Structure 1
Amino acid sequence: MSDDPRPGKRNAIRAQNETLILQAAEKVFAEAGFGGATMQLIADVAGLPKANLHYYFATKEELYRRVVQNIFEIWLQAAEAMDGAETPAEGIGAYIEAKMDISRRHPNGSKVWASEVMHGAPVIQDYLETTLRDWTAGRAALIQRWIDEGRMAPISPQHLLYMLWATTQHYADFSHQIETLNGGKPLTDAQWREATESVKSMILRGIGAA
């Protein structure tokens, strides 16, 4: 085994640069959209030479798809709380908490996803027709099982999921509006906790799972 530390150092530098690029790309795509964003602008925001971006991501579309994939994978991880839960109160409650936390930590990623879908998903339509469709079918089946077991009200699983997405992602996609109504300031830790508990209470009571 080689004691040469350079491969490990190179891997660390690569990971650091990828993180910088993806964070910058999230911000630029969220603000300018896919059409308005340029690799040069993303490089400037990341503080890296443009050549570095092309070393990690050959095209703007490849980088864009990676940004979209990242936020979706984070959302998928949030749904794991539902899969192992015995009751809808436990599973959906934990899912709401996770999604609200993601909206707080990754607002730009959520904005990129929302803008892409509102424009007809010209870049990620294939992703919607495969990964998202399969995921939604699986979660809807779980919710239907809870309904069949009498653990919650007989409602449409699909429309419940749409409501969960719309409500939790509102805090990311419309963060400027929320901050404006909050006196021009971001929500504090206490306000985020209040928002999360309010959303949980309203939804769980509404579906008869509180």
Structure 2
Amino acid sequence: MGADGADRPGMSPAAPATRIQAVTRALILDAALEIFSRHGLRGSTVDEIAARAGLSKANLLYYYRRKQDLYEAVLERTLKEWLRPLEAMDVDGEPVEELRRYIEAKLVLSAERPEASRLFINEILAGAPVILPTLQTTLRSLVAEKAAIIRTWVSEGRLAPVDPFHLIFAIWATTQHYADFDVQIRAVLGTEVDRSSFQEHACQAVLSIILRGVTPR
């Protein structure tokens, strides 16, 4: 080894392996999301997930020792992705625009990862046996923080009087509806759902309905 230690473990030669591990973890989580959203925790197998990820079972288990660990990781990643737009809500921003940005971001997530929403709703309907502690801590704290911001906007007359918690609940329900009830939407609207303009039309409709309700008069 050279005197500068470049060949020692943890030095620069180890960096590519770290990047490879990050890519592999993401690959595994994507495969697991697809399988878990179809079959749930009990109905899915590590072999099936490994095959979907293009890895051996042994390779997958190097990253996640148990199926339960993998399921928890998928749920945690989903929640982090969903909460990121809410975390960005800025008390110093223009209230209607801040809410617009949040709703648009949630609709994009719903359209791009409908399987994530389906997995999450199945977990909730089962009583949230895995993710309940996170909901009672991380989620509760963040929602309370953002509800306080909305309450401030209302008190300043920058939003119409509205209960901040129920506003957030309404945004969640409306935006996730397009993923959770895709089959029902298609049954009602038929091929209209497949038109390139459908997502934009849905977004504008949701924004109009919700934002008109909170815009000061």
Range moving further from structure 2, 73-82 or 142-151 = 73-82
The one of 174, 190, 197 equivalent to 1:190 is 197
In structure 2, relative to structure 1, the CA distance for the partners of 1:179 and 1:11 (3 Å cut) is: farther
- What secondary structure, in the 3-state scheme, does the structure 1 residue paired with 2:89 have? helix
1:104 is matched with: 111
CA contact (8 A) 2:41 2:71 kept: yes
1:70 is matched with: 77
Alpha-carbon offset, residue 159 of structure 1: 0.8
1:37 is matched with: 44
- What secondary structure, in the 3-state scheme, does the structure 2 residue paired with 1:183 have? helix
- What secondary structure, in the 3-state scheme, does the structure 1 residue paired with 2:65 have? coil
In structure 2, relative to structure 1, the CA distance for the partners of 1:85 and 1:64 (3 Å cut) is: farther
Q: In 1, Cα distance between the equivalents of 2:41 and 2:123? A: 8
In structure 2, relative to structure 1, the CA distance for the partners of 1:80 and 1:125 (3 Å cut) is: closer
Range moving further from structure 2, 84-93 or 27-36 = 84-93
Question: Once superposed, what is the RMSD of the aligned Cα atoms?
Answer: 2.2
CA contact (8 A) 1:26 1:67 kept: yes
Q: Describe how 1:2-151 pairs up with structure 2 within 5 A.
A: 2=6, 7-151=14-158
Larger radius of gyration: 2
Instruction: Structure 2: give runs of 5+ residues left out of the alignment.
Output: none
CA contact (8 A) 1:78 1:99 kept: yes
- What secondary structure, in the 3-state scheme, does the structure 2 residue paired with 1:116 have? helix
CA contact (8 A) 1:88 1:209 kept: no
Alpha-carbon offset, residue 67 of structure 1: 0.7
Q: In 2, Cα distance between the equivalents of 1:35 and 1:44? A: 17
Q: In 1, Cα distance between the equivalents of 2:67 and 2:167? A: 35
- What secondary structure, in the 3-state scheme, does the structure 2 residue paired with 1:120 have? coil
- What secondary structure, in the 3-state scheme, does the structure 2 residue paired with 1:150 have? coil
In structure 2, relative to structure 1, the CA distance for the partners of 1:149 and 1:180 (3 Å cut) is: same
1:121 counterpart letter in structure 2 = A
Q: In 1, Cα distance between the equivalents of 2:139 and 2:86? A: 12
In structure 2, relative to structure 1, the CA distance for the partners of 1:136 and 1:174 (3 Å cut) is: same
In structure 2, relative to structure 1, the CA distance for the partners of 1:180 and 1:24 (3 Å cut) is: farther
CA contact (8 A) 1:85 1:91 kept: no
Range moving further from structure 2, 4-13 or 148-157 = 4-13
1:159 is matched with: 166
| TM-score relative to the length of structure 2 | 0.88
State whether structure 2 residue 183 is matched by structure 1 residue 176: yes
Range moving further from structure 2, 185-194 or 160-169 = 185-194
CA contact (8 A) 1:25 1:42 kept: yes
Across the two proteins, how many residue pairs are aligned to each other? Answer: 210
